[in-house]
Amino acid sequence: MWQEILGVGLMFALLLLFAIPLGKHIGQVLNFEKNWSDPFLGFIDRLFYRIAGIDEMQQVSWQNNLKAMLTINAGWFVLSMLVLSNMSWLPLNPDGIASMSPDLAFNTSVSFITNTNLQHYSGETGLSYLGQMTLMLWQFISAATGMAICAVVFQGMRERASEKLGNFYVFFVRSITRVLLPLSILAASIYVFQGVPMTFLGKALTENLQGDGIEISRGPVAAFVAIKQLGTNGGGFFGPNSAHPLENPTYLSNMVETISILLIPIAMLFAMGHVLKRRKLAWTFFGVMCLGFLLLLLPAIASELEGNPAIAAMGIQQNQGSMEGKEVRFGAAASAYWAINTTCTSNGSVNAMHDSMTPLTGMSAMLGMMTNCFFGGVGVGFLNFYVFVILAVFISGLMVGRTPEFLGKKIEAREMKIAMIIALLHPLLVMLGTGLATYLYAQNPDACAAWLSNPGSHGFSQMLYEFCSASANNGSGFEGLGDNTLFWNLSTGLIILTARYLPIIGPVAIAGLLAQKQYIPESAGTLRTDTATFGTMVFAVIFIIAALAFFPTLVLGPLTEYFMLY
Amino acid sequence: MKNSENTLFPKGAISAALKSAFYKLDPRLMLRNPVMFLVEVGTLVMLVVCVGIALGDQSQGSLAYNICVFVLLFLTLIFANFAEAIAEARGKAQADSLRKTRSETPAKLWDDSTGKVKLISSSELKKGDVFVCTADDIIPSDGEIIEGLATIDESAITGESAPVIREAGGDKSSVTGGTKVLSDQIKVVVTASQGESFLDKMIALVEGASRQKTPNEIALTILLAGFSLVFIIVIVSLKPMSSFAQAPIAIAAFISLFVCLIPTTIGGLLSAIGIAGMDRALRANVVTKSGRAVETAGDIDVLLLDKTGTITIGNRKATAFHPLSGVDPQHLLRASVLSSLADTTPEGKSILELANLDLAKLTPKDPVFVKFSAETRISGLDFEQTRIRKGAIDAIRRLVENAGHSFPDQILELTSKISNNGGTPLVVAENEQVLGVVELQDIIKTGIRERFERLRKMGIKTVMVTGDNPLTAKYIAEQAGVDDFIAEAKPEDKMQYIRHEQAEGRLVAMMGDGTNDAPALAQANVGVAMNSGTQAAKEAGNMVDLDNDPTKLIEVVEIGKQLLMTRGALTTFSIANDVAKYFAIIPALFITAIPALQGLNVMQLHSPESAILSSVIFNALIIPALIPLALRGVPYKPIGASALLRRNLLLYGLGGIIAPFVGIKLIDLLVSIWF
């Protein structure tokens, strides 16, 4: 048991060790400072600029940056729909996979372009290699979209910001060439050495001990897994995601994958510190997020290591903790650690069955998605956090008797309106989605019987989790939910779309509006935002808005299960 | 009017406020406050439910329980309305008493047809009336000089010790009510009509009729509306979820949960806090033109203060006699006293005090006094063959040199030394021969250093504005502990300084009186005009100080901060309460259908009904319990923003989490007797 906890501790320590220098690197890249990668990667950037006709020096307003982001995303969506619904006759389809149905293609396209990677299909049987490669492209693109739009917000947070907040396209290209691509190549190489396949050949044929023929699915897996983890995408090449031995064969590959999940979300904080030259602020934000992360993590690990009382009641010893639905090569602690990593960020990959976890871990995982800003997705996690910071600044500004200001800019009614709408959106989508699903189920239990593998509160958790996952752009599933139906494909698809773009538009608009305001120099009366006190305030605001709004649903789901079990 | 300061609820106000609380139930008025409007909707729904049960509906629990919920929600509404009404009543009482206590001075009304003056009260003066003022008269009303020239002591209002000259024609023709004529005679036409006071505007403001929400209040309302919206979502989605879990929830429980979760505490007290803020300003004898001005005052970064009257005691005082070498000190002393015998200015009197000679022995026979006039800027007296004069250095120098005498260099040395120490030299001459110098010093007010220290801790930069030369100004600035100064200040300098600070993003407050201050008052983010200042100044500023006290700005800043802090503290308290209310009501909702959730009933409340009733009772009672805090305001302590946040977060955040746990449990013990 101590070995397992040590493994988790090591992963967290290594994560910080890599994230801090990476943050500085990203900061330099997004701030156009001299960087070691300029000599041998700069020409690739320029090549893209020339092909696309991008003027590297041109800066545009926040509205134009948003327009650029939205139009190019729409283009990608159309392309994705075309590929997924025509896979059957397109090249790179050695196993003869069929095209997707329109509603599944819609759900999958939306899901991958928005960095969600909710999968209502199984990779082995649902996608050709061209389909997989298309989705892999979106995994790069959606992560870079998050980083680029976050860079626009960084521009708006600077003291002497102007109306021009950089250029989305330039940030986008640089995020891919300088950060995502080099890191992915590095990670993929490690996976290949650990035994992850990287091939365009069709299924491998082999015999088992009984002499029966077995087909083993394979493909360009290593490249896919690398960006799925680094870009907080989470969509698996195979159905069982990173629990599959060919996606995550060893404890070492598991460590690299786990570290990859949180690496860029944490590094983005230090990148902010670098761009704004406010390192202490970066550490304060890190402290708040880390506190939230640990408060979700510790109960989860403790609960998984303790085992399931229902199994103990059957007289079965659980020395390794609760092992139902877990891979023996990872163990209970590393699986719980992964579960919290993947739900706190909007990653959504899994290395164990979340459905089988103890109620407390299930609740922690859901809370990770409900708050969705304890590190959060690449780039967008910071944007979610930014909205809560604006709300915290407002309330604490009042409490010290001064019109609230954040980094020298006054927060007024307009910014509050936007921040409040964005903060409300997530509970709205999750609660109304779950409300609608429970309503339909309660109205006609027989027609919806295929949805749920469990009745009662666990069935409720399955539905709640699915909507949390969609609205948090997470993409993981509690599983046990029959989700490839028209209702689930459409409802989650629409929620994913809304929950991706509005929470990007809102913070960019706030940053843009604040950038145009006059900078107020700091005085002794100014409330500093880089202190532990302010950090506590931000944490309290996140707790109140996210946790309290969702409390009744948690009571009906995991808490009822918990109190019935213990 | 100071005596009413400590009574929170003035006599008669409570019954009037209660009446008004019912009147305010009008949904059109309630709509201004979205949180309380939602409570009103919930109350009406409960009324319908009660009627339904009375008509035989069996699904909603007992009639008594439902009626209790209805009554409690109704009380919540009344308490919130009462809070607003009592704040208004206090403001109104205050304004009324202010109006009665306005000081009246006699006025010499000029009758053009008879060419005679008639003595009337200043309150009887009408716009367009002409009055006359001679030496030693207090000018009864704001006006414009139409005839004559006079030196006027405006130190009572402006604090400037040096008398000013006002004359007919030109831009120095306006005089201010409350100032005093020192010499000569003027004829003045009244420019400000009586009754058009800011008080009338203020009364309208506190009565709520014309009270507009401030930008900050609007932002807070958005926040509160947002929090209410969250819980609408919660309640709406909870309905199908509970039927999925086969745990049906009664309407009373739904509405109680909703009302308890939305921020009713701050929602109910919000407008009371705003009105009380303006009322506190009024109690400090400052009339604000809008609530916004009070709020802005809390944000001030730079404070422009006139030296005289604010930092130093109104008038300079003689502190030392410096005889020329070869002159007998007693001789200078005697000459100084003689020259000041007829001098009624505070400086002149202070020379007599300092010399402390027996005036009866000293006074010569048949003296001819030379009064200070604006043209010669010299005063003194003649007797027998002696002519004694005193005045500023250049005036005496002209006098001496015109008589053919030389002006001793030692005087220049002496005077520059005095200037360097922040003093003002007055040169004394006898028969056009210089005897020595009287040193006048500004007396820095006691305790002013500490006040500036307090301002510095609040993050406010203080700037002293003075007509003194830079050397004197620097000396006094250092002595008083101000951060910066503007020496030899002309009105344009103030304006320029304000613009410069504002360009850097700072908010500037200043106090002013004269017409020439008007542009700067208008430019400043908070301009406080003295009540005795010119009409132009009062129009330009956004507050009027009835006491004409230049240090009032400091109080105004604190009132502004208090206003914001009270809102912030009660918002935090209100939202923090939700934690405990959740733990009280949520188990109560489901416990019958899912008995396992008894584990969530951490407060061990007696029954679902008692848990819900206790929460609603706590939610209703907390509003009147916090009315005194809302009206008095959260005290401001200049301990730095982070320390202040920590303190208030502990007090109202942590306190807000703990208080309802204790309160609801105690109420439950009582309620469990019946439910």
Phi/psi for A324 (5° steps) reads: -65, 130
Test the B interface: residue of A400, A491, A548 with most B CBs within 10 Å: A400
pLDDT in tens, B394-428: 888 888 888 888 888 888 888 888 887 778 888 89
Q: Which of A325, A276, A469, A463 is nearest to B240 (CA)?
A: A463
Return residues 246-285 of A near B (CB < 8 Å): none
Indicate the pairing of strand B484-486 with strand B508-512: unpaired
pLDDT of residue A168 exceeding 50? yes
pLDDT in tens, B446-476: 778 888 888 888 888 889 888 777 877 888 8
Indicate the pairing of strand B116-121 with strand B106-111: antiparallel
8 Å CB contact between A200 and A92:
yes
Give the pLDDT band (50/70/90) at residue B626.
very high
Burial of A302 (0-12, 13-18, 19+ CB in 10 A): middle
Residue that is written with structure tokens 């009745």 in the block: A455
pLDDT in tens, B538-584: 777 888 887 767 677 778 888 888 888 999 999 999 999 988 898 99
How far off is chain A from B586, nearest CA to CA, in Å? 7
Average pLDDT, chain A: 92
Closest-CA residue of chain B to A525 = B459
B457/A399 Cβ within 8 A:
no
- Most confidently modeled range among A122-126, B194-198, B415-419, B422-426: A122-126
| Rg of chain B, C-alpha, whole Å | 34
Strand partners, B438: B321, B426
Q: Which residue has the higher pLDDT, B31 or A342?
A: A342
pLDDT of residue A526 exceeding 50? yes
Question: Which residues of chain B lie closer than 8 angstroms to A528, CB-CB?
Answer: 641-642
Q: What percent of chain A has pLDDT over 70?
A: 100
DSSP string computed for A132-162: HHHHHHHHHHHHHHHHHHHHHHHHHHSTT--
Burial of A17 (0-12, 13-18, 19+ CB in 10 A): exposed
Angle at B298 between CA B295 and CA B301, to 5 degrees: 130
DSSP string computed for B514-580: SGGGHHHHHHSSEEEEETTS-HHHHHHSSEEETT--TTHHHHHHHHHHHHHHHHHHHHHHHHHHHHH
- The answer to whether B158 contacts chain A (CB < 8 Å) is no
Cα–Cα distance measured from residue A351 to residue A204, given in angstroms and rounded to the nearest whole number? 23
Could you give the residue ranges of the DSSP H alpha helices within B343-447?
Answer: 346-355, 359-362, 393-402, 409-420
Give the pLDDT band (50/70/90) at residue B200.
low
- Predicted confidence at residue B534, as pLDDT, reads 65
For B240-374, strand residue ranges (E) read 286-288, 302-306, 317-323, 368-370
Q: Which two tokens stand for residue A91?
A: 């090249």
DSSP code of residue B655: H
Cα–Cα distance measured from residue B15 to residue A195, given in angstroms and rounded to the nearest whole number? 84
| Rg of chain A, C-alpha, whole Å | 23
If DSSP codes are grouped into helix, strand and coil, which group holds residue A325? coil
CA B108 to each of CA A439, B111, B114, B174: distance values in angstroms, whole numbers, following the listed order: 85, 9, 14, 17
Cα–Cα distance measured from residue B362 to residue A9, given in angstroms and rounded to the nearest whole number? 96
8 Å CB contact between B390 and B428:
yes
Cα–Cα distance measured from residue A427 to residue A421, given in angstroms and rounded to the nearest whole number? 11
Mean per-residue pLDDT, A435-456: 87
Question: Which residues of chain B lie closer than 8 angstroms to A412, CB-CB?
Answer: 215, 219
Give the pLDDT band (50/70/90) at residue B101.
very low
- Predicted confidence at residue B459, as pLDDT, reads 80
8 Å CB contact between A425 and A502:
yes
Angle at B585 between CA B582 and CA B586, to 5 degrees: 70
Cα–Cα distance measured from residue B126 to residue B352, given in angstroms and rounded to the nearest whole number? 42
- The type of residue at B405 is H
A399/B649 Cβ within 8 A:
yes
8 Å CB contact between A295 and A301:
no
8 Å CB contact between B407 and B434:
yes
Closest-CA residue of chain B to A527 = B641
Number of H helices and number of E strands within chain B?
23, 21
8 Å CB contact between B560 and B296:
yes
Q: Residues with Cβ < 8 Å from A541, sequence gap 6 or more?
A: A388, A391, A392, A395
- The answer to whether A539 contacts chain B (CB < 8 Å) is no
- The answer to whether A442 contacts chain B (CB < 8 Å) is yes
pLDDT in tens, B646-673: 999 999 999 999 999 999 999 999 998 8
8 Å CB contact between B39 and B262:
yes
Test the A interface: residue of B244, B564, B578 with most A CBs within 10 Å: B244
Cα–Cα distance measured from residue B549 to residue B533, given in angstroms and rounded to the nearest whole number? 12
- The answer to whether A449 contacts chain B (CB < 8 Å) is no
Picking from B234, B456, B598, the nearest residue to A549 by CB comes out as B234
B560/A420 Cβ within 8 A:
no
Test the A interface: residue of B645, B646, B650 with most A CBs within 10 Å: B645
Give the pLDDT band (50/70/90) at residue B8.
low
Cα–Cα distance measured from residue A147 to residue B477, given in angstroms and rounded to the nearest whole number? 52
pLDDT in tens, B30-80: 888 889 999 999 999 999 999 999 998 888 888 999 999 999 999 999 999
Average pLDDT, chain B: 82
pLDDT in tens, A74-100: 999 999 999 999 999 999 998 889 999
8 Å CB contact between B480 and B311:
yes
How many CB atoms lie under 10 A from the CB of residue B85? 26
If DSSP codes are grouped into helix, strand and coil, which group holds residue A561? helix
- Predicted confidence at residue B3, as pLDDT, reads 38
Q: Which two tokens stand for residue B342?
A: 């007829």
pLDDT of residue A246 exceeding 80? yes
Give the pLDDT band (50/70/90) at residue A191.
very high
Active-site annotation of B, residues: 306
How many CB atoms lie under 10 A from the CB of residue A521? 11
How many CB atoms lie under 10 A from the CB of residue B57? 15
Q: Which residue has the higher pLDDT, B514 or B403?
A: B403
Q: What percent of chain B has pLDDT over 70?
A: 88
Give the pLDDT band (50/70/90) at residue A368.
very high
pLDDT in tens, A249-298: 999 999 999 999 999 999 999 999 999 999 999 999 999 999 999 999 99
Q: Which residue has the higher pLDDT, B465 or B360?
A: B465
pLDDT of residue B157 exceeding 60? no
A417/B458 Cβ within 8 A:
no
Mean per-residue pLDDT, B128-133: 86
Give the pLDDT band (50/70/90) at residue B537.
confident
Mean per-residue pLDDT, A90-115: 91
pTM over 0.80: yes
Mean per-residue pLDDT, B612-641: 91
- Predicted confidence at residue B197, as pLDDT, reads 46
- The answer to whether B461 contacts chain A (CB < 8 Å) is yes
Q: Which residue has the higher pLDDT, B279 or B198?
A: B279
pLDDT in tens, A407-418: 888 888 899 999
Question: Which residues of chain A lie closer than 8 angstroms to B565, CB-CB?
Answer: 398-401
- Predicted confidence at residue B155, as pLDDT, reads 58
CA A179 to each of CA A20, A174, A227, A504: distance values in angstroms, whole numbers, following the listed order: 14, 7, 11, 21
pLDDT of residue B480 exceeding 50? yes
Number of H helices and number of E strands within chain A?
21, 4
CA B53 to each of CA A199, A267, B61: distance values in angstroms, whole numbers, following the listed order: 72, 61, 8
Q: Which of B571, B594, B655 is nearest to B586 (CA)?
A: B594
A555/B586 Cβ within 8 A:
yes
SS (H, E, C) B498-517: HHHHHHCCCCEEEEECCHHH
